[in-house]
Amino acid sequence: MTNKYAERTSHLHVALLEPEIPPNTGNIARLCGATFTTLHLVGRLGFRTDEKAVRRAGLDYWDEVEIYQHTTMAALYAALPQCRFLYLETTAERAYTEFQFLPNDCLVFGRETKGLPEELLRENRERCLYIPMPNSQVRSLNLANSVSIVLYEALRQIGFPDAGTAV
């Protein structure tokens, strides 16, 4: 991929581990495109990403996103050696609002139905974050909403690089 994004990047990364639902990934891709955030898709996807499939799923901002696919988390880590990886999961002990984000952070989110693997969370407990939800009867938030919440807080903290027009 030619890097048309080299001059326009938020200096943040979002990684989705085995996303399953095309519209969620499409919304996240649009968010990443709007904020010049690099999107990484990791592992087996629950949908195709060829041009026809992407267009049919309504992912009309796909070409506005700097996007990479990695076969494993190890491949993601190897591709981003300068990054600090942060893992978002409902079972974490630290709220994202209590964390200091930095440029080059990579926000890692799990599958819609299963979240992140327990082993990954155990190995990285000190970098696991959650989004507070006052209603304990609600199991989790939508993946695209979760990415939006945390990404915008990280962008706010690092000063909204490349800020453009407001909506």
The structural domains of the chain, ordered by start, are 13-158 (3.40.1280.10)
Determine the pLDDT at residue 1. Answer: 40
Determine the pLDDT at residue 46. Answer: 66
- Rounded to two decimals, the pTM is 0.86
Determine the pLDDT at residue 2. Answer: 44
Residues in the chain predicted with pLDDT less than 70, given as ranges, are 1-10, 46-61, 161-167
Determine the pLDDT at residue 140. Answer: 86
Residue 129: helix, strand or coil by DSSP? strand
Determine the pLDDT at residue 20. Answer: 84
